[in-house]
Chain A
Amino acid sequence: MTYAEFAETQDKSALRPLARAIYFWRKTFNIFEMELRKIRHDPFNLLTRAIQPLLWMLIFGQVLAGARGIPTGGFSYIEFMAPGILAQSVLFVSIFYGLALIWERDLGIIHKFLASPAPRTALVLGKGLGAGIRGCSQATIVLLTMWLMGVNVDWNILKLLAVFATVLLGSVVFATLSLIIAIWMKERERFMGVGQVLTMPLFFASNAIYPISMMPDWLQRISMFNPLTYMVDALRALILVGAESSYGLGFDLGLLAVVGVILIAIAAKIYPSFIT
């Protein structure tokens, strides 16, 4: 039996839903593995990316720690902001993932993937999970820094796993959003423009470095439609001892998952137009 014949038998079994789901996840992990191998060849990159959140915590956080007017719900300002900075760094790492995609498109790598039988949804999710690995390395560094700064981090193993799951979920959401912008904008320069215009508002219209209650009404309303708000809410509840989530952990994670699924479906749908 040739490989092609083997592949054809595979194709028939793919008609059944379960086999199809398994196939989808296998292809997703193939792409994920590729992203993982890329990171392994350039681990230094992970460290340089960690500088930005560290600066936020060590400088911005220290300075604002002196401000008394921010209602942080009984936590020190550093405690309050650290989960927000983690979410922010995940956002910043993921939102420029589309740039790598444009680069790969310019080279021709994307063409070859699109001409392969791998489902487009798997190509998208695999990339998103790749961004998640970078996010998880950020999470590790931020958590260790929090600990060194004397923050009372909840080291409960289940909560810790949930932190990483949240980071993974958030990475998929923002990386996929970034892919959609890349597919839509097509060129690097235009992508950079939109990327920059988008990241700061997402960051500021969230509860990352100040509580929603401090915002003017109009901004409060906008922040409710911002996925970052729910990611920060979940991270805060999971990382800080004694913190509670404002919207419910299940709601936070469920909302991120639903947004992720919708974004992946959109990205997969418009993916082929990226190369024409």
Chain B
Amino acid sequence: MNIIETQGLTRDFGKFTAVDGVDLTLAEGEIFGLLGPNGAGKTTMLRMLTTLLPPSRGEAHVAGYDVVRQANQVRRVIGYVPQLLSADGTLSGYENLLIFAKLYDLPRAQREQRIHHLLSIMGLEDAAAKLVKTYSGGMIRRLEIAQSVLHAPRVLFLDEPTVGLDPIARASVWEHIQRLREEFSTTILLTTHYMDEADELCQRIAILHHGQVAAIGAPAELKAGLNRNGVSLDDVFSHYAGGAIEASGSYINVSRTRDDVRRIR
């Protein structure tokens, strides 16, 4: 069964079409990357799949449920880590997990065990009792990922999971994402604009450009498709997204990204 299926998925904001007729299918258990420059429609795509934003046209099913008509069923079987920092800095790491464990109705008997298991997987056991505002960026990300998989979701959505992290923290987040997949065989849909991240983590990627799928396939396939030697995923990206990397990263985007990093401290 396809765990995610979209047909002609479209979202307009006024006259601007953020996502434009996207057809996408994800098989259960894969790690899939949505790539594209800022404003390509990655986050809008994710928000529709996580029921946060109703599509303007088209359809999407997650784990067989319609994201509009069966939004509540979808919410039960997905985990979501937004692009922004989403752990609560005024609570401890443990409390952040506890509240979500309760919110997702984890049976009381399994709650503690599950929380401690995830804390240890994510390497946060020692920091569990500390307030999250004292955490480093990488620790917060790992906590957020732990939070999003408490209820063993069938699909995990990660929006720019390593944005704003230093290289060591990024590597550790990658390692933990892979560990999650090995342990729970969760399907993971992530967005990123780091090519090395897509190369390292994803079995398949789709490059979004102006809200449309410009290319889709395994990273190796896409590289081979360019018919040149020594092609990197960066080349693939600029080939399909038209060198848009240069044009992106507007003042507002830069300000937001930096803001998020600063704010939680």
Asked if A118 is an interface residue, CB under 8 A from chain B, the answer is yes
Nearest-Cβ distance from residue A109 to partner chain B, whole angstroms: 5
Across the interface, A112 reaches (CB within 8 A) one of B86, B91, B154, B260, namely B86
Across the interface, A3 reaches (CB within 8 A) one of B91, B103, B104, namely B104
Across the interface, A38 reaches (CB within 8 A) one of B80, B86, B91, namely B91
Contacts of A114 in B (CB 8 A): 52
Asked if A188 is an interface residue, CB under 8 A from chain B, the answer is no
A117 to B70, CA, bound (A): 11
Are A30 and B99 closer than 8 Å at their CB atoms?
yes
Nearest-Cβ distance from residue B78 to partner chain A, whole angstroms: 7
Are B76 and A34 closer than 8 Å at their CB atoms?
no
Are B52 and A275 closer than 8 Å at their CB atoms?
yes
Interface string of A1-35 (1 = CB under 8 A from B): 01110111011000000000000000100110110
A10 to B77, CA, bound (A): 12
A45 to B76, CA, bound (A): 36
Contacts of B102 in A (CB 8 A): 30, 33
Asked if A217 is an interface residue, CB under 8 A from chain B, the answer is no
Closest residue to A109 on the B side, CB-wise?
A: B86
Interface residues of A in 101-157 (CB under 8 A from B): 104, 106-109, 111-118
A112 to B152, CA, bound (A): 16
If A7-B104, A7-B105, A116-B104 touch, does A108 touch B86 (CB 8 Å cutoff)? yes
Contacts of B86 in A (CB 8 A): 107-109, 111-112
Nearest-Cβ distance from residue B186 to partner chain A, whole angstroms: 10
Contacts of A30 in B (CB 8 A): 99, 102-103
Contacts of B191 in A (CB 8 A): none
Asked if B192 is an interface residue, CB under 8 A from chain A, the answer is no
Are A6 and B107 closer than 8 Å at their CB atoms?
yes
Nearest-Cβ distance from residue B60 to partner chain A, whole angstroms: 14
A42 to B131, CA, bound (A): 11
A: number of interface residues (CB 8 Å): 33
A104 to B182, CA, bound (A): 33
Asked if A41 is an interface residue, CB under 8 A from chain B, the answer is yes
Are A111 and B106 closer than 8 Å at their CB atoms?
no
Asked if A48 is an interface residue, CB under 8 A from chain B, the answer is no
Contacts of B131 in A (CB 8 A): 41
Are B80 and A7 closer than 8 Å at their CB atoms?
no
If A3-B106, A115-B51, A116-B104 touch, does A108 touch B72 (CB 8 Å cutoff)? no
Are B82 and A111 closer than 8 Å at their CB atoms?
yes
Are B154 and A116 closer than 8 Å at their CB atoms?
no
Across the interface, B77 reaches (CB within 8 A) one of A4, A33, A113, namely A4
Closest residue to A113 on the B side, CB-wise?
A: B103
Are A38 and B90 closer than 8 Å at their CB atoms?
yes
Contacts of A2 in B (CB 8 A): 152
Across the interface, A116 reaches (CB within 8 A) one of B81, B95, B103, namely B103
Nearest-Cβ distance from residue A14 to partner chain B, whole angstroms: 8
Across the interface, B52 reaches (CB within 8 A) one of A3, A7, A10, A115, namely A115
Asked if A254 is an interface residue, CB under 8 A from chain B, the answer is no
Are B85 and A111 closer than 8 Å at their CB atoms?
no
A42 to B90, CA, bound (A): 9
Across the interface, B91 reaches (CB within 8 A) one of A41, A106, A108, A275, namely A41
A106 to B262, CA, bound (A): 13
**A-B contacts, 8 listed (Cβ < 8 Å):** A7-B104, A11-B73, A33-B102, A41-B92, A107-B263, A115-B78, A116-B100, A272-B52
